[in-house]
Structure 1
Amino acid sequence: MTPEGKALLNIVILGLGFMVMFTAFGTCGNIEQTVIKSFNSTQFHGSGYTSMAIIYAVFSASNLIAPSVIAVIGPQLSLFFGGLVYSAYIAVFIHPYTWSFYTLSVLLGIAAAVLWTAQGNLLTINSKDSTIGRNSGIFWALMQFSLFFGNLYIYLAWHGKTHITDKDRQTVFITLTVISLVGSFLFFLIQKPDPEPAPSDASESLLPTDISDSSSVVASQGLGSQALDAFKKSIQLAMTKEMLLLSIPFAYSGVELTFYSGVYGTCLGAMSKFGGDAKGLIGLSGILIGVGEIIGGGVFGILDKCNRFGRNPVVFLGMITHFVAFYLIFLNVASDAPVAPEEGTQMQAYMQPSVLVALICSFLLGLGDSCFNTQLISIVGFLFREDSAPAFAVFKFVQSITAAVAFFYSNYLLLQWQLLIMVLMGFWGTVTFFVVEWTAMSTRKNSDYASI
């Protein structure tokens, strides 16, 4: 197999591993608040929103040490062990206790930082400047199939149910735990990429390109020294002009991630006006979000139709798509839906609640999210190719801390205020992304930029 073919195969396996694992975890996140509301136990007092806030808060802080972990054990083992913690978190819901629920929330935050930083590192070392956009799209499209499969299962299993029984919950989460474990083991199929034909600065890289071990680096540099260097590089990158500007779209991606992955499904499940189909709509909404994500990743990454114009048109499309979705949600969904009790809300928004409009919004949320994330992954991998792990750690640090804040306020804020926050952050995030993209275009005219 040619080096380029092996690198492409690694990207596909990486995407498949995330697809299988996040089929389980994404479904878990989408339904956990609804499941907790239906859980009858005086021993359990947890909140899905609070758990997610803890996860993303710890995730954010742990991104500062994630490059050091990857430098020591390598990205492949980082993916595997991170995946095991994801499986343990899902398994908690088989029979949840408050202490185990929140303990695994903390551990998952640490694991998520390591997992996603390793993903960015593997994506970068298996890509060239001319293929980073394509590979970002392939990975994103494959991973987002997870939303389709997991939520289809939820829709079929819960269609017509108004209350989730203990048996329903246990059946779902045993299945999701097994699926998550399968995804973790898929990462062992990733092969070591072939070295560049004429390496120049490879010896200066903080992280080894060998995804199976880091012995060659460790031999010349102590584990502590290597980990400290990776940590320092993360801090240095966070202070650069490009990263400071990109921090706003990073932050927006965290807030809208919170909304589409946890809040919106809960809102639909709480709408009594939707009748007996309300709980089933959680799964159907997740499917449509996944369809939007897959189409976005395919069109803007794999097919790369907009390469002549750079990344800005795709991000602008993402902003418009999201703003349309937010407006329709404002008209269609009751304002107290995010904080409604288990029996749901009887309130109505500004129009007769429509299942069709709700599902159209789900699709638009997914499409807009793919527009932002494929281009953010692409520009970070392009601008910080030599320091990919620390750069992606900064990306996930900002994204996750805003996601944590958003999950926290989702316990209290009515829907219209959550939508307003996203509109403001989405607008300014798009503007600052444009600035970074224009700067990259003007300073790298003689690079392979035009073919990304």
Structure 2
Amino acid sequence: MAIIYAVFSASNLIAPSVIAVVGPQLSLFFSGLLYSAYIAVFIHPYTWSFYTLSVLLGIGAAVLWTAQGNLLTINSKDSTIGRNSGIFWALMQFSLFFGNLYIYLAWHNKSHITDKDRQTVFITLTVISLVGNFLFFLIQRPDPEPAPSDASESLLPTEISDSCDVAPSQTLGSQALDAFKRSIQLAMTKEMLLLSIPFAYSGLELTFYSGVYGTCLGAMTQFGEGAKGLIGLSGILIGVGEILGGGVFGIMDKCNRYGRNPVVFLGLVTHIVAFYLIFLNIASDAPVAPEEGTQMQAFIQPSVAVALICSFLLGLGDSCFNTQLISIVGFLFRDDSAPAFAVFKFVQSITAAIAFFYSNYLLLHWQLLIMVLVGFMGTGTFFLVEWAAISARRDSDYDSI
């Protein structure tokens, strides 16, 4: 995972250039093939193929996420970007729910996973992912429309250029170079520098809920023989929290007159509650415990119910942050959505890689402390950017009257 996210981070620097050359749709397709290849490796895993495909997956992930953000933006308006971000996030997180539910039911009470068990799962996942890759070709891009006469309302030409169509006067090489330069320029803007802290927080907590927390549950010998099975249940409840958050915030976006800040604040509060309960419920050496588990005692008598509630809260809080981050990036950088999402994923993935690395060495309470500090700072800087965006929108509405 550290390799994947390290390569993912570095590859975000070239992702806008790739999309500028081949377009967002083909970028999604070819990147998706790398995802399918990575899944297929586990049918008959070898060390060399596992690490090789980890590197290739990092490259594919950078291009896929940037292209996804680009297509989401050009198919949305300012009034629908929040709703569409929520719907996208909820649909994506259904994989957490159904995937973990299948594993839990199929492997429940199994102490040994046979080759046949493993191959059945990964053959199925490979086929599903390949079908999904070809469905990318059904995604439609908006048709160019005549620009309105009022120059202040003329957004479509920039949207068309943002969708990575190459102008006849530009070569593919110059188009790719321009996209790379634009990514560097965007990374230095005030808004992007402020947003880099919540980007970083999303990477830290991504590592925690997707890798560290499940490891902690499996290492808790106080949970009995079913400790390993809790990893699947935890994943299901994380998925439920993600789906609920994405769906609710997508539906409620039209009714939210207070902007994105209340949702982000809810995400912070949800995560702080989860972190505090985890601090009390899970032994501090759980992330670094040996295979036989930890013998340390938590601050309270470990509770399976509390552990699973925390899983749900982790998913719900993550959906709060990610739906609003996708929304604000698409809103603020509509004309440069591909480079903007590349910067977003660059910061998120590099912090995720760092977190995957230190999670093997730091005790649980130190990992929680890092996330609490970065979470508070990231929420504060997000508030500043959102307030500035609301103020600019009000000024624009006043000038148009």
TM-score class, shorter-chain normalisation, is over 0.9
Give the structure 2 partner of residue 407 of structure 1.
356
- Give the total of aligned pairs: 393
Superposed counterparts of 1:306-317, under 5 Å: 307-317=256-266
Give the structure 2 partner of residue 60 of structure 1.
9
**2:215 aligned with 1:263:** no
Q: Match for 2:189: what amino acid?
A: T
Structure 2 CA distance for partners of 1:203 and 1:221, relative to 1, 3 Å: farther
Give the structure 1 partner of residue 151 of structure 2.
none
Runs of 4+ in structure 1 off by over 6 angstroms are none
Greater alpha carbon shift after TM alignment, 238-247 vs 217-226:
217-226
Q: Match for 1:270: what amino acid?
A: A
TM-score w.r.t. length of structure 1: 0.83
- Conserved? CA contact 1:159–1:279, under 8 Å: no
Shift of 1:309: 0.7
Give the structure 2 partner of residue 279 of structure 1.
228
- Conserved? CA contact 1:152–1:287, under 8 Å: yes
SS at match of 2:163: coil
Q: What is the rounded CA distance, in whole Å, between the counterparts of 1:147 and 1:426 in structure 2?
A: 24
Shift of 1:340: 2.4
Give the structure 2 partner of residue 329 of structure 1.
278
Aligned to 2:199, which of 244, 250, 253?
250
**2:176 aligned with 1:227:** yes
Aligned to 1:350, which of 299, 310, 315?
299
Deviations 1:117-156 (A, max 9, x none): 0000000000011111111111111111111110101111
Shift of 1:162: 3.2
Any stretches of 5+ residues in structure 1 without a counterpart? 1-51
- Conserved? CA contact 1:145–1:294, under 8 Å: yes
Deviations 1:379-402 (A, max 9, x none): 111110000000010000000000
**2:158 aligned with 1:209:** no
Structure 2 CA distance for partners of 1:336 and 1:163, relative to 1, 3 Å: farther
Shift of 1:316: 0.5
- Conserved? CA contact 2:41–2:50, under 8 Å: yes
Q: Match for 1:59: what amino acid?
A: F
SS at match of 1:219: coil
Shift of 1:346: 2.9
Superposed counterparts of 1:88-237, under 5 Å: 88-198=37-147, 200=154, 202-203=156-157, 207=161, 209=163, 214=165, 217=166, 219-237=168-186
TM-score w.r.t. length of structure 2: 0.93
Structure 2 CA distance for partners of 1:382 and 1:359, relative to 1, 3 Å: same
Q: What is the rounded CA distance, in whole Å, between the counterparts of 2:282 and 2:65 in structure 1?
A: 33
Shift of 1:448: 7.2
Q: Match for 1:276: what amino acid?
A: E
Q: What is the rounded CA distance, in whole Å, between the counterparts of 1:275 and 1:151 in structure 2?
A: 20
Give the structure 2 partner of residue 437 of structure 1.
386
Greater alpha carbon shift after TM alignment, 374-383 vs 163-172:
163-172
- Conserved? CA contact 2:260–2:386, under 8 Å: yes
Structure 2 CA distance for partners of 1:395 and 1:236, relative to 1, 3 Å: same
Q: Match for 1:287: what amino acid?
A: I
SS at match of 2:394: coil
Q: What is the rounded CA distance, in whole Å, between the counterparts of 1:235 and 1:375 in structure 2?
A: 23
Structure 2 CA distance for partners of 1:281 and 1:369, relative to 1, 3 Å: same
Give the structure 2 partner of residue 241 of structure 1.
190
Any stretches of 5+ residues in structure 2 without a counterpart? 149-153
Q: Percent identity?
A: 87
Superposed counterparts of 1:344-383, under 5 Å: 344-383=293-332
Greater alpha carbon shift after TM alignment, 263-272 vs 99-108:
263-272
When the two chains are superposed, the root-mean-square deviation of aligned CA atoms in Å is: 1.9
Structure 2 CA distance for partners of 1:98 and 1:441, relative to 1, 3 Å: same
- Conserved? CA contact 2:162–2:337, under 8 Å: no
- Conserved? CA contact 2:162–2:336, under 8 Å: no
- Conserved? CA contact 2:162–2:338, under 8 Å: no
Q: What is the rounded CA distance, in whole Å, between the counterparts of 1:202 and 1:300 in structure 2?
A: 27
Deviations 1:47-68 (A, max 9, x none): xxxxx11111111111111011
Q: Match for 1:430: what amino acid?
A: T
